[in-house]
Structure 1
């Protein structure tokens, strides 16, 4: 799940394509939560909000599952 930071045609961008910084892109694999991911995580604690987020926030569904996307308030 990505945080919507900048609107683009057909949707929105996450922080990496908008800010293009290591803090937001985590290309090195050594990153932590940002202001944006903390805001999101505070409101939806079970979601995966940045590349190195808690592994307990990663969920998968079996193949053939019908997905329904629900955004937190």
Structure 2
């Protein structure tokens, strides 16, 4: 069926806005992440040219959620 799948994720952090738009065959659904995340990035997560994810910065289960026993944090709510 010649189907393509695209996923934009903030799991590893953020550095540039993205916009995937179909260009043919009657497709009209865009996928985009164009918010100014770098400009709003919490100070603890700032990285050169982007915004890191808290798991990479803090390396704790609270932010990486590897145990299955975790909930939202101030940083996950930001993203």
Q: Give the TM-score of the pair, scaled to structure 2.
A: 0.37
Question: Higher Cα Rg: structure 1 or 2?
Answer: 2
Higher strand fraction (1 or 2): 2
Taking structure 1 as the reference length, the TM-score comes to 0.40
